[in-house]
Amino acid sequence: MNSKLPINITGTDALNSIGENIIIADTDYTIIWLNLKARQTLALLAPLYGIASVDEFIGLNMDYFHKQPPHQRKVMAGLKDGHRARINIKGEFIADIVVTPIRNMADDSGAIEGYMVMLMDVTTQAEERNKMEKRIRELSAPILNIWDNTIAITLVGEYDLDRGETIISSVLEECASKGIEYVMVSLRGVNHFDDSVRQTIQKLHDCLRLLGVECIVVGIKPKLAVSIQELNNISTFSDAHTGLKHIMKLQETK
At residue 81, the pLDDT reads 82
28, with CB counted inside 10 A (0-12, 13-18, 19+), is: exposed
How many Cα atoms are found within 13 Å in the side-chain-facing hemisphere of 245?
A: 6
Domain boundaries, the chain: 11-124, 140-252
What CA–CA distance (Å, rounded) separates 168 from 115?
44
Answer yes or no: are the C-beta atoms of 114 and 102 closer than 8 Å: yes
Q: What is the structure's pLDDT at 1?
A: 47
CATH fold of 140-252, please?
Transcription Regulator spoIIAA (3.30.750)
Angstrom distances, CA of residue 250 to CA of 126, 146, 220, 238 = 50, 15, 21, 18
Q: How far is CA 15 from CA 10, 23, 219, in A?
A: 9, 10, 45
| Beta-bridge mates of residue 143 | 153
Return the CATH number of 11-124, one of 3.30.565.10, 3.30.1180.10, 3.30.450.20, 3.90.580.10. 3.30.450.20
Whole-angstrom Cα distance, residue 215 to residue 151? 10
- Quick: pLDDT tens for 85-128: 888 899 889 889 999 999 888 777 788 999 999 999 888 877 77
What is the per-residue pLDDT for 107?
73
Give pLDDT tens digits for 150-170.
999 988 776 667 778 888 998
pLDDT at 146 over 70: yes
pTM over 0.75, yes/no? no
Q: Which of 12-16, 27-31, 140-144 has the lowest mean pLDDT?
A: 140-144
Q: What is the mean pLDDT of the chain?
A: 86
